Chain A
Amino acid sequence: MNPAEPSPSNAACYTEAVEAHGSDIARFVAGYERDGLKRQELLQDVHLALWQSLAGYRSQCSLRTWVYRVAHNACVTHIQRSRRLANQPFTELEALTGAIDEQADISLVDREIDLSLAMAVIHSLKPVDRQVMLLYLEDLDAAAIGEVTGLSARNVATKVHRLKALLATRLEVRRTMP
């Protein structure tokens, strides 16, 4: 069978994977692509890669690990291609703040600003750091992150410590700004 051809026999496994991890995949994709339209395309590409890959899934690892690996691999390929095409400038935090100032709920606004800032930090990270950061935010422990990325748990723990500090510092700086 052509491994790239989706097969109906994958349907049950695919449905199970999407029900359990569909939201995780969508968040990963958001961490790799900031443009809305491109994000939708990337999401579809990730689902296609997942669908195609499941033809080879024989419980070699947990379904979650399999799904996360496929998602990150598809996303890494995407950012490599994007980097070749163009370097898009980052959106200024001030612009984001202005765009959501009209919303009434101040706590929601605060959260949106924090999330936008977190996204800006995540999008500036190189692929390997970005993978670790996104998996950490999904609440995976160092061993599970290591299983997905191929890095040792010790290396992951060091990275998580540094990345967490970076993100927390950026968010704290924002809070102390007048």
Chain B
Amino acid sequence: MSDQRLKDLWKQQSVDTPAFTPESLQARANAFYRTIRRRNVREHAAGAAVVAANTFYWWLFEDLLTRIACLLIIAGTLFVTVQLHRRACARRPSPEQLAAPVSAYHRAELVRQRDALRSVLFWYLLPMFPGIELFFLARQLQMNASMNLSVYLLYPALAAVIVWLNRYAAGKLQQQIDELDRENAGDSP
């Protein structure tokens, strides 16, 4: 099949070209922002619930160690909430980013997603670690219970699984990035 026949075949296909009014585009944008806002509200509500629960524990338990643990958990929760908000804001692309050359845009998106997955340990899991572990320790000491190490391993084990899954997904993205880089390397003589 000749070049021109291929192109004619492509260009003569029937496609819908609906006219989008400014109002319909605005409505689409609003729907998108509503979804983002709802997600933000859910995240903030979850953070508020953790803060409220730990404020209650802070009031309920009078020993210093438990109270320090509660404050650490609250601080960790606030840090994670701020990070979630900051990362959600960073995802809104500028006009220049929207119109970047396709390979650069695609690579930047993959790198952003890879880095977000790789860094989950540092901004999502580690900030909660000291407070949670100290809380278990404080409660065991208060109750004079025998030391049960498995309790202390719960959070690290869960975190390890999450980190492994995220690293695995990040590895898949890295393969795509490498593939793109090989494509671009084809540019060099």
Please report A residues at the B interface, Cβ cutoff 8 Å.
3-6, 8, 11, 18, 22-23, 25-27, 29-30, 40, 43-45, 47-49, 51-57, 66, 69-70, 72-74, 76-77, 80, 111, 114-115, 118, 126-128, 131, 136-139, 147-152, 154-155, 158, 164, 167-168, 171-172
Contacts and interface: CB of A to CB of B under 8 A. Distances in A.
B180 A26 contact: no
B29 A47 contact: no
Interface in B15-58: 15-20, 22, 24-26, 28-29, 32-33
11 contacts: A4-B33, A27-B15, A48-B32, A51-B25, A52-B29, A54-B95, A69-B101, A111-B12, A154-B187, A155-B186, A171-B1
A6 B25 contact: yes
Contacts of B86: none
Given A4-B29, A150-B102, A164 B6 contact: yes
Interface stretch (B104-112, B142-150, B159-167): B104-112
Given A6-B29, A69-B101, A164-B6, 11 more contacts: A5-B29, A8-B22, A48-B20, A51-B20, A52-B95, A69-B105, A73-B105, A73-B106, A118-B6, A155-B186, A155-B187
Contacts of A155: 183-184, 186-187
B100 interface: yes
Residue among A22, A53, A77 with the highest chain B CB neighbour number at 10 A: A53
B98 A138 contact: no
**Chain A's interface: helix, strand, loop or mixed, by majority?**
helix
Contacts of B98: 49, 52-53, 56, 69-70, 73-74
A114 B9 contact: yes
A103 to B, nearest CB: 13
Contact of A73 (B32, B94, B100): B100
